[in-house]
A and B are shown apart, each in its own frame.
Chain A
Amino acid sequence: EVQLVESGGGLVQPGRSLKLSCAASGFTFSNYYMAWVRQAPKKGLEWVATISTSGSRTYYPDSVKGRFTISRDNAKSSLYLQMNSLKSEDTATYYCARRDTFDYWGQGVMVTVSS
């Protein structure tokens, strides 16, 4: 069974950093692109980042480019999202998802950016 479990969320002040983690199990992690998707309160879903199987290629929308960094550790079957220079508009539930077309999702982790 595919399982994706996010961690690392919480309350952070504007301008600070936070790193999210996603532990994957139930599939061969190194064979799949992975991604992060977020959902702001009472808003729609937004793709945040995608990483290739080896980690050599990463993709971001303009809204987070230069501030967020996606990475992975295939030996640990883990995905990460380093978020820097956080803004209030980054407040959202962040989901880890398998493949660049999001076939499986984790339960999500809440990130609140507020002073």
Chain B
Amino acid sequence: DIQMTQSPSFLSATVGDRVTINCKASQNINKYLNWYQQKLGEAPKRLIYNTNSLQTGIPSRFSGSGSGTDYTLTISSLQPEDVATYFCLQHNSGPYTFGAGTKLELK
């Protein structure tokens, strides 16, 4: 199985900050990498698919990049409503596997 190592586990940032969250795969996942946001008590929401495609309706301050084994979610200017847990998913090969999550809070 492909292991997804997500970092950091916890992140505290200020409104307006540029925030980056990383996922490293144990092998090449050919850009088949999604990012999700989960707010407390809500269903997970897909933000980015296939590394850098923005899901419809998601603000443009969210972006994704990467290739091979290393991938990044960037929030260009953190907003209060971005407080959530973020996690990645590799869907290159089964079983599809998730990162452990990054809890993002406001400083």
Contact = CB atoms under 8 A, between A and B. Distances in A.
| A and B: interacting chains | yes
Interface stretch (B18-26, B65-73, B74-82, B96-104): B96-104
Given A59-B94, A100-B91, A107 B99 contact: no
Interface stretch (A10-18, A23-31, A44-52, A79-87): A44-52
Given A101-B34, A102-B34, A103-B55, A44 B87 contact: yes
Contacts of A102: 34, 36, 44, 46, 89
Interface in A1-21: 4
B94 A95 contact: no
A44 B100 contact: yes
Contact of A101 (B49, B99, B100, B101): B49
Contacts of B89: 45, 101-102
Interface size class of B (residues with CB under 8 A): 20 to 34
A55 interface: no
Given A44-B98, A44-B100, A103 B49 contact: yes
Interface string A28-70: 0000000000000000111100000000000101000000000
Interface string A91-115: 0000100001111111110000000
A106 B45 CA distance: 10
Interface of B: 34, 36, 42-46, 49, 55, 87, 89, 91, 94-101
Given A44-B99, A100-B91, A106-B43, 18 more contacts: A4-B43, A44-B87, A44-B98, A44-B100, A45-B87, A45-B101, A47-B95, A47-B96, A47-B97, A59-B94, A100-B96, A101-B89, A101-B96, A102-B89, A103-B49, A105-B44, A105-B45, A108-B43
Interface of A: 4, 44-47, 59, 61, 95, 100-108
